[in-house]
């Protein structure tokens, strides 16, 4: 069994809409069966381009801005237990951080009911530093860095997410990486590229999300044991 997914960044056609209806009916039937059996309901991938008044590109930027508010070595990316899962999270969308590549990571987190989850799989960021940003060339560099990434996989409660390449979200233009820092920096000097999956609020109870990738020869593995309540 695989979780269906589709790109939110392409025009819909009639055949796609028909397929979407059948998928939705199948998911509803599966959810009803799971509820009857007392099992967690299956996760639903959000493919809408705009979620809570922000595009998925903007959510990818917001994730990186969130990470940038932490000191290196003491951030959700380097967290090995899940102690920082709720740190500086706010609003209707919560982020689940990737790992720093130093080894397989397992995190245990409590997630409030009703939170949409934005899950990065692998990301690259290019910064101009003190130089005047040349966003187009930086975007090419960020895109080129993704050629080092392979073997992207994601499972949610043991169910694999299909068609991982469709979940790529390049920012394209520059954005302010330090917008959430103190004092905030509004300078648009960063470009990013990568793969992300947005999940509708999970049903109450335990869930397990596993993300794997490789950056050249370095394996990246993050397991989230979530308790939604």
The per-residue pLDDT for range 127-147, each reduced to its tens digit, is 998 889 999 999 999 999 999
User: Which pLDDT does position 33 carry in this prediction?
Assistant: 43
Q: How far apart are CA 146 and CA 139, in angstroms?
A: 11
Does the pLDDT value for residue 161 go beyond 90? Answer: yes
* Selection from 158, 121, 155, 194 nearest residue 39 by Cα: 158
The phi, psi pair for 23, rounded to 5°, reads: -65, -45
The per-residue pLDDT for range 35-81, each reduced to its tens digit, is 455 566 789 999 999 999 999 999 999 999 999 999 988 999 999 99
Does the pLDDT value for residue 82 go beyond 70? Answer: yes
Which structure tokens are listed for 23?
Answer: 């998928």
User: Which pLDDT does position 15 carry in this prediction?
Assistant: 35
User: Which pLDDT does position 129 carry in this prediction?
Assistant: 85
Domain spans in the chain, listed from the N-terminal domain onward:
2-228
* Selection from 13, 69, 93, 60 nearest residue 169 by Cα: 60
User: Which pLDDT does position 40 carry in this prediction?
Assistant: 62
What separation in angstroms does the CA of 121 have from each of 95, 129, 136? Answer: 11, 25, 23
Torsion of the alpha carbons at 20, 25, 27 and 30, rounded to the nearest 10: -160
């Amino acid at each position: 069994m695989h979780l269906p997914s589709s790109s939110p960044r392409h025009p819909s056609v009639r055949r796609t809409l028909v397929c979407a209806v059948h998928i939705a009916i199948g998911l509803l039937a599966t959810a009803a069966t799971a509820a009857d059996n007392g099992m967690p309901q299956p996760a639903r991938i959000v493919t809408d381009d705009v979620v809570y008044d922000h595009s998925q590109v903007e959510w990818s930027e917001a994730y990186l801005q969130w990470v940038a508010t932490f000191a290196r070595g003491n951030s959700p990316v380097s967290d090995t237990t899940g102690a920082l899962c709720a740190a500086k999270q706010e609003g209707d969308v919560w982020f689940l951080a990737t790992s720093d590549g130093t080894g397989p990571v397992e995190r245990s987190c409590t997630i409030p009911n009703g939170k949409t989850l934005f899950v990065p799989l692998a990301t690259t960021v290019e910064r101009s530093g003190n130089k005047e940003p040349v966003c187009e060339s930086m975007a090419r560099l960020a895109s080129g860095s993704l050629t080092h990434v392979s073997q992207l996989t994601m499972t949610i409660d043991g169910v694999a997410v299909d068609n991982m390449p469709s979940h790529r979200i390049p920012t394209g233009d520059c954005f302010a990486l330090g917008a959430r820092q103190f004092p905030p920096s509004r300078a648009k000097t960063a470009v990013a590229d990568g793969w992300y999956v947005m999940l509708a609020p999970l049903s109450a109870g335990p869930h397990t999300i596993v993300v794997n990738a490789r950056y050249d020869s370095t394996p990246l593995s993050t397991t989230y044991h979530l308790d939604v309540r």
